[in-house]
Amino acid sequence: MYFITPGKYKNLVLLLASLFFYFYGEPIYCLLMAASIISAYLHGIWIDKKRNSRHHKIPLISSITFSILALGFFKYYAFFIGNLNNILGSSIDPLHLALPIGISFYTFQILSYTIDLYRGTASVQKNFIDFAAYVSMFPQLVAGPIVRYTTIEASLKKRLHTVAGTAYGINRFITGLAKKVIIANPLGELCATLTALDEKTVVIYWIIAVAFTLQIYFDFSGYSDMAIGLGRIFGFHFLENFNYPYIARTVSDFWRRWHISLGSWFRDYVYIPLGGNRVNLLKWIRNIAIVWFLTGFWHGAEWNFIIWWLYFALFLLAEKYFLKNLIEKLPAAFGHVYLLAVIVIGFVIFNADGLTEVFQSLKGMFGLSGLPFSSPETVYYLSSYSFMIMIAAVLSTPLLKTGIKRLSGYQAGSRITEILKPAMQVSMLLLVTGYLVDGSFNPFIYFRF
C-alpha cells in the first residue's frame, strides 16, 4: 500500500498503519497517544508564534509539563503512592494501571521536538499528518531508538526510495529479528529456567547474570536493528543505537556505545543545559547525579533502578578522577575484564525484581549465601548452554563483521560474500519463522520501560 500510494499521501499511510499497529496491542491507550500528539502539535504552533514575545517560555513549559505529567502518572504514580502508604501507613489506592507501551519513547520524541523548536534548531511542523506520523511511526514506536524530530525533519517532506535502500532495510530487519529470536529468546529461556530452580549454586547465579547480560544486548539491539531496517524501507535514516558496547574498556565508553539515542538525549537536553563538565567539581557531581538519576528512573519506577543509577554514577566519577588513567596504563585486556565485570553486576541489579532480589543474587554470586559452588545439575546446564553462550559472546563483538569485511577485500572473497549474504539472510528468515511458529517464549524486555 505504501509504495503504490502517491508521494503526498505516503505519510498518511504510515500514520494509519502505525495507529492500527498500536491499537492492535493497546486499544485504550491509543487515546493517550493521540492526546499526546495533539498536545505537542498545538504546543509547537504556540511556541513558534510566541518566539519573539516576552512570554516565549510559557508554551515550552506548558508542553513539557503536559508530557511529563502524562508519563509520570502512568509510569510512576503507583511507585510513589506505594512508598507513601508504607511511610505513612495510609491506604491510598495505587491504581496499578497498565503501562502504556512505548510511552517513554514517544514522550521523549515529543520533548525533543518542542525543545528544539524553542531553541530554533527545528522548524515548526504545521502539517498534522506529518507530525502524527513522526510521533507514532510503528518501526520504533514501542522499543526505540528515540528518533529526534531534527533527524527526520527533511525526510518527512521528501525522501528517496531506492531498491538498494529497501534491500538494506530488509537485510537489517532480518538480522535484528534473528538476534531477538535465535539468540535473545533462548538465553531468556535459560535465565527463566535457572531462576526457577529451587537449589541454586554460585555458578548458577553467574550463568544467569552472564546470560541476561547477553540476552538484553541481543534483545534490545535486535529491536533497534529492526526499527532501523524498517525505517530505511520507508526512506528514513534512523541513527544507530548500539556500537558493540561490550568491547569497551571503561564505563564511560560503554555508555557512549549502549542505547546511544537515550544517552545523547540526556546529554543534550539535561547534562549540557546544567553546565556539563564546564563547572566546578560539586556542580559536576550534581550534574552527573541528576542525569543518572533520570536515566535510572526512566527505565522503571523501582528501587533497584535507583541503586542501578547510583552504581554507574559512582564508577563514572571514579573514572573521571583516577580510574580511567590507571586503566589506560594497563594492558587492554585488563580494561575489558574490568568493564565486563562492572556491566554484568550492573545488569544483575537492573534485572532484579526489587531490592530483596538484588541482594539475594549478589550474595549468591559471591558465595555469601552458604550455597555450594557447583553441582551435577549445574554442570549439566553449563555443558548444555556453554556453546550458545560462547557464540553469543563472539557475536556481541565486531569479529564476524571484521572478518567478512576483510574477506570482501579480495576479489574471490568478494564474489563468495555476494553469494553467501543473500543465502544467509533467506536461511535466517526461514529459521526465525520456524522458531516463531514452533515456540511460545517471546519475552518483550523493554515492555516494562
**First-residue to last-residue Cα distance in the chain:** 32
How many CB atoms sit inside 10 A of residue 342's CB?
Answer: 16
Active-site choice (56, 161, 299, 336):
299
Q: At what angle do helices 128-136 and 103-119 cross, to 10 degrees?
A: 130
Any idea which residue has 506529518 for its cell?
A: 130
Of 177, 175, 176, 161, whose CA–CA distance to 237 is shortest? 161
Give me the DSSP letters along 376-419: HHHHHHHHHHHHHHHHHHHHTSSHHHHHHHHHHTSHHHHHHHHH
Q: How far apart are CA 324 and CA 301, in angstroms?
A: 31
* CA-based radius of gyration for the chain: 23
Please report, for residues 16, 26, 71, 109, the alpha-carbon distance to residue 20 in angstroms, rounded to integers and kept in the order given: 6, 10, 22, 20
CA nearest neighbour of 348 among 362, 337, 336: 362
Catalytic (active site) residue 259: no
Reduce the DSSP state of residue 4 to 3 states and report it: coil
Q: Using alpha carbons, select from 365, 349, 366, 368 the residue that is nearest to residue 357.
A: 349
Q: How many CB atoms lie within 10 A of CB 366?
A: 12
C-alpha cell at 311: 552504581
Distance from C-alpha of 308 to C-alpha of 348, rounded to nearest angstrom: 9
Question: Cis omega (within 30 of 0) on the bond before 186?
Answer: no
> 3-class DSSP state for residue 379?
helix
CB 260 within 8 A of CB 145: yes
Three-state secondary structure string covering 156-211: HHCCCCCHHHHHHHHHHHHHHHHHHHHHHHHHHHHHHHHHCCCCCCHHHHHHHHHH
Residue pair 58/43 in contact (Cβ under 8 Å)? The answer is no
Indicate which residues carry an active-site annotation.
299
